[in-house]
Amino acid sequence: MSAYKKNRAIYTVVLLICVIGFWWFENFYTPATYSASSSRPDGVSLAQIYMPTSTTGQIVHHSHYSLSYNEPFEQAEWVAYTLSKEHLTYDNRERPYFIEDPWVASKSADWRNYKNSGYDRGHLCPAGDRRFSEQAYNETFYTSNISPQNRYFNAGLWNRLEMQVRSWAKRYGEVVVVTGGVLEKGLWEIGEEGVDVPKYFYKIVAKKKGGTIQAIAFLMPNQEKEGPLTDFVVTVKAIEEKTGIDFFAEMDNATEESLERQVDLSNWKF
């Protein structure tokens, strides 16, 4: 065999190994999990009074946020977490892989469902809110914490709201955030597992002032929109009616009803 043919054969074998290796990596490689337990750890710091109800009963507690997974829609119906002033650091973190959530009993959707879909893997608990530790940051890359978002919405209106929430955490010391997509029948689906694309996303932010809980709620279409954030403020009750979730179920009925039906922008500095 000539040297040319020999080298050509070697190159062909090497190329074949690379192709097989890339295919295996894309389809079977899963990095180590980012949290060791689904039991409620101290890091969540989420008082029971702020915990929403679950329409599915599949609640998972990670170290730094909790979620309720909705298997038919292949995403969380809500993610809840505490954001304090101390959490807001500017530590540089190496972006990890998106991986399936090992603590979701039905398995969360594979990240490949989003590939070539035209939609972003939109974080519900933002990675930018969890830079204070490597584990906290990495946990936000479980696929149970993402939802299909229009890329201009994700980088625009949604990002503006996330920055506003950080501003409130700095100003008020601590806020509680509950957020997710509105999961309803007839949504467009992406990927082999049929991940539903919400038409709307919501975010509810709560804080304490003295012995009183104050809350503000946003409902936004999954597309980029101009205008101030106040254009998207709604009552908590309006989001409950769209989602079937009770957001302050542990409150006494009179207090809950009053909180959820009012919109008082004077409690929030924009």
Q: Show which residues are catalytic.
A: 123
Cβ atoms of residues 84 and 169 within 8 Å: yes
- The pair of three-digit structure tokens given for residue 5, joined into one six-digit string: 């043919």
Give DSSP secondary structure letters for 33-67: PS-S--S--GGG---GGGPPP-SSS-EEE-SS-EE
Alpha helices in 129-235 (DSSP H): 134-139, 151-155, 157-172
Contacts for 270 with CB less than 8 Å, ≥ 6 apart:
164, 228, 229, 230
Reduced to 3 states (helix: H, G, I; strand: E, B; else coil), residue 3 is: helix
Q: What are phi and psi of 8, to 5 degrees?
A: -65, -40
Reduced to 3 states (helix: H, G, I; strand: E, B; else coil), residue 77 is: strand
Distance CA 148, CA 115 (A): 11
Contacts for 216 with CB less than 8 Å, ≥ 6 apart:
204, 205, 233, 263, 265, 267, 268
